[in-house]
Structure formats: structure tokens, C-alpha cells
Amino acid sequence: EAQVTQNPRYLITVTGKKLTVTCSQNMNHEYMSWYRQDPGLGLRQIYYSMNVEVTDKGDVPEGYKVSRKEKRNFPLILESPSPNQTSLYFCASSPSSVQETQYFGPGTRLLVL
């Protein structure tokens, strides 16, 4: 089944404790992206990747890192999480660009205490 998976789905952590949210797609897509969803703000793009080893900032990249060492994986790294990063995070992928249909993962709900 074609899908985007994220792990973990739910995470509670404390300020400053490094964490990684994994994202994997099995559709051989080149484009992958991370979003955060906050009430009243919709989805905001954090980082995106056009292909392996090619990443770029979205609109809210501060406090986040990403890497794209393999085509299928695009982990999101919070090196020193803060409470304002409490949010719902979505990973998405599309064949080659954001103009094509994006396929979204189920989301990761993060609470930073």
C-alpha cells in the first residue's frame, strides 16, 4: 500500500531533550516536506526536500533540522525542543514538486513540557 508513515504518533517530552520524528514514504517520491499545524494558523511549512541531499527552508524553520540521506526517509530533528514547538506535525511527499498532489502522513502530536 502506498503510504507515508510517521513515528512516533504521539510524543511527550521536556524542554531541551533532543528528539527525532521519522518520516518514510514507499512511493519513490522525490519531494518531501514537513509541516506543523496549529489552531487558527493552518499548516505552515517547516522544511522541504527536492531530492536526496537537497533540502531548503520553509516558512518556519527555526528550531528544526532535517536530513535527506535516502530518498524514502526525511526525519525531522528538534535538537533542543521548547514549549512553543508543541504542535501537530505532518510529513508529506509528492512525485517531484509541491505543485503535484501531496500525500500526507497521519501526523505526530508533540507536547513539550
> Which residues, in sequence order, are CB contacts of 12 under 8 Å at separation 6+?
110, 111, 113
Contact positions with another protein (CB under 8 A) in 11-40: 31, 33, 35, 40
Min CB(103)–another protein separation in Å: 8
C-alpha to C-alpha distance for 64 and 50, rounded to whole angstroms: 18
Question: Cβ atoms within 10 A of the Cβ of 30, count?
Answer: 18
By the rule CB under 8 A, 92 interacts with another protein: yes
Q: Which residues would be at the binding site for another protein (CB under 8 A)?
A: 4, 31, 33, 35, 40-45, 48, 50, 56, 58-59, 90, 92, 97-99, 101-102, 104-107
